[in-house]
Amino acid sequence: MGTTLLVVAALVFGYASLWFLVSVAVKRNDVADIAWGLGYLMICVYLALTQERTVVTMLVYTLVAIWALRLAVHIYLRNRGKTEDFRYQQWREDWGNSFYLRSYLQVYLLQGLLLWIIAIPIVIAGLSAEEELSMYTYLGMAMWAVGFFFQAVGDYQLTQFVKTRTSKEEVLQTGLWRYSRHPNYFGEILMWWGIFVVTLPLPHAGWGVIGPLTITLLLVFVSGVPMLEKRYEGNPVYAAYQQRTSVLIPWFPKEK
């Protein structure tokens, strides 16, 4: 497994470097968000072409491909015709003369490292010769399906809300967003844990836990929930929303 992980690491390094060059050409760093999902698809294609293809491996590749393509298309459509995402605009201002170097290191190479770590369950599946579907296969698929629903529907509801709101101070509080302040992140996390569960009967499966654990910590404590919560600081509508709505795991809202 070690050799394959090293080859995948080299592929991801080249992939991240290529997208950095794209970002320089188009003068916007938020293309990194599109590159994120497609990077996992690249790994799946590489493994499918170089390793034995079984029912379990093709199942994992399919789940990852569906997630990756939907996410990439969603982000492309969301960003099309708009200015660069606010996070990257802020970094562009903060980093000044070192913008390109820090973008390469802190956006693209760091994202590549995280992509490589989170993809470990995919590599584990790709190296397996397992043909039998187990209870873990069905449980993991069910978890992935629920997660996909929350991410896809949550993203769609947010997109429609942004199109019709009259002020940036308005807060989406209906649909899945009535039960979670970040249903799309909940879905993302659940999908990766589902893929990990699918790989549980496979050799070296224990190492795969680092993948879903990393994406969970990343979204809950670093780049997901905290950044968006900070964006709404000082908004009284969002403050009230925070008081009654679960931050991540969907649950019934508290009484007003």
Give the percent of the chain with pLDDT over 70. Answer: 100
CB 92 within 8 A of CB 24: no
Q: Write down the H helix ranges in 80-103.
A: 86-95, 99-102
Q: How far is CA 53 from CA 45, 92, 120, 128, in A?
A: 11, 43, 17, 9
Say yes or no to pLDDT of 29 above 90: yes
pTM over 0.75, yes/no: yes
256 compared with 129, residue with greater pLDDT = 129
Could you give the CA distance from residue 229 to residue 244 in angstroms, rounded to a whole number? Answer: 15
Say yes or no to pLDDT of 174 above 90: yes
pLDDT at res. 256: 64
- State whether the Cα torsion 230-168-99-32 is positive or negative: positive
Say yes or no to pLDDT of 207 above 80: yes
Q: How far is CA 67 from CA 55, 72, 132, 148, 190, in A?
A: 19, 9, 24, 7, 12
Q: Rounded to the nearest 5 degrees, what angle is found at the Cα of 243, between the Cα atoms of 240 and 249?
A: 125
* Of 32-36, 37-41, 163-167, the least confident: 163-167
pLDDT at res. 87: 86
Q: What is the pLDDT of residues 62-120, one digit of tens each?
A: 999 999 999 999 999 999 999 998 889 999 999 999 999 999 999 999 999 999 999 99
- Give the mean pLDDT of the chain: 96
Give the percent of the chain with pLDDT over 90. Answer: 91
pLDDT at res. 243: 95
Q: What is the pLDDT of residues 154-164, one digit of tens each?
A: 999 999 999 99
Q: Rounded to the nearest 5 degrees, what angle is found at the Cα of 218, between the Cα atoms of 251 and 175?
A: 30
pLDDT at res. 168: 84
Could you give the CA distance from residue 123 to residue 117 in angstroms, rounded to a whole number? Answer: 10
Give the confidence band of 130 by pLDDT, cuts at 50, 70, 90. Answer: confident
Give the confidence band of 236 by pLDDT, cuts at 50, 70, 90. Answer: very high
Report the SS3 class of residue 119: coil
